[in-house]
Amino acid sequence: MNDIYNIIDAYTTGALSPEEEQYLFATLANDAEARRYFKERQVLSLALKAAEVPFPAELDEAVLSRVQGKRTATIFNGLLQPVYVTAISAAAVLLVMFLFFFNRVESYRSEVDHAMIEISNQKQTIDLLLNGLPTIQVTSQNNNRIHIANN
């Protein structure tokens, strides 16, 4: 295959250096066969370009939504990695322990409150009993004997 075809092909893709372009146009000026092929290449490229079908909007939507779905799935799968699973499990255990001990503390607090009320009640009862006893007078006598008498 003639080298000029490769040069023409490279020209249509913009891959020629200025020197090569100069050589190409000099050849085209003198070579009818090269001119014919050059025209063919130009027409073909334009026709194929013009024959491009626009990318369908519904396909655009479908691809992007599937990629978004894939991204969500990737995030979810990432959470299923061992390190995350361990962390989430540990957090769950700590939460359960917290709830358990919180409950216990609340229960103790309630018992202490109840005991305080009981103590308070008993103190009042003792005070009442003490107040209900008859008063007495204690006096000392000369013979070193203590005399206790009701008032």
Partner 1 sequence: MNLQNQQNEFLNYYHRYKQVVYNYALKMSSNKMVTDDIVQTVFLKLFEHLPGIRSKESISYWLFKSTRNEIYAFFRKKRVDAGSSSLEDAEHVAAGSSANVELQYELNNLREIVRAELETLPLEQKDALLLREYGGFSYREIGEMLQIDEELVKSRLFKARTRLAKKLIPVID
Give the residues lining the site for partner 1 (CB under 8 A): 1, 5-6, 9, 13, 39-41, 43-48, 50-56, 59-60, 62-63, 66-67, 70-71, 74-75
> Of 48 and 80, which has the nearer Cβ to partner 1?
48
Q: How far is the CB of 87 from partner 1 (least distance, A)?
A: 19
Strands (E), 28-145: 136-140
- The gap from C-alpha 41 to its chain's centroid, in whole angstroms, comes to 55
Nearest Cα neighbor of 131 from 139, 141, 123, 142 is: 123
Tell me the residue type at 45: S
Q: Which is nearer to partner 1, 70 or 104 (CB)?
A: 70
Between residues 78 and 132, which has the closer beta carbon with respect to partner 1?
78
Cross-strand pairs, 138: 148
Closest approach of partner 1 to the CB of residue 110, in Å: 50
CA–CA separation, 47 and 101 (whole Å): 79
Whether the CB-CB separation of 84 and 78 falls below 8 Å is answered with yes
Closer to partner 1 by Cβ: residue 35 or 41:
41
Residue 74: CB minimum distance to partner 1, A: 6
